[in-house]
Amino acid sequence: MAKLSLDRILQSQGVGTRKWCRQLIDDGEVSIDRVVITDHRASFETEGLSFTLFEEIWLYREHVYIALNKPVDIECSRKPSHRPGVMTLLPEEFGWRDVQAIGRLDHDTTGLLLLTDDGAFNHAISSPKRHVPKLYLATTAEPVTQALIADLMAGVKLHDEPEVLAASFCRQVTEHQLEIILEQGKYHQVKRMLAAAGNHCAALQRVAIGELSIASLGLAEGEWCYLGAEQLTLLR
């Protein structure tokens, strides 16, 4: 943590542009420890810092780590083309902080989505070289068979992929549902693997990343939460 001027602190937390942050401070809209601060150049240690803006308490966070239970028909792109973007589900300050989705879920895929403004963390979780397992619950058009499970575990060849791709875990849940764990993170991988194995994906939900599950977070569809240090450990 560092010692920063108050205008830089506000800007870093997604309040707005530095000019706007200075104006808020100069207008007496910001207080720390119940003391109104009107000098935007005043500096403060950021560790453990909180400030009040428009009667709302903000806790300083060097980076934000967010879990979202993504609903259907939401695009993960920052510039969505046909449907609402994922940032519409989050507070405006996350946009100012340049929060990005870690990987993407298709518009018709639901479940656990991680977002952050920490580029190094984003790379560590999304890079296929890190082999972070992701658990999906897939609903299939045709009944699940043991032959399908065997094919997915043995590996299937996808178009434009140099090597076969295999699930690290797969089991039948119901007649038309299976759980599958992947580590590669290829484009539309679950859907393409099911199609290559002779079935079709009718619905898809990401249930967990690493050891962090959507169930453990207790998030309803469309809800989000900050991730703490213990939860982040479950992702590594």
**Catalytically annotated residues:** 106
SS (H, E, C) 85-138: EHHHHCCHHHHHCCCEECCCCCCCEEEEEEEECCHHHHHHHHCHHHCCCEEEEE
SS3 state of residue 65: strand
Q: How far apart are CA 34 and CA 55, in angstroms?
A: 10
Q: Name the DSSP class of 230.
A: H
Q: How far apart are CA 135 and CA 137, in angstroms?
A: 7
Q: Name the DSSP class of 192.
A: H
Q: For residue 157, give the H/E element and its range.
A: none
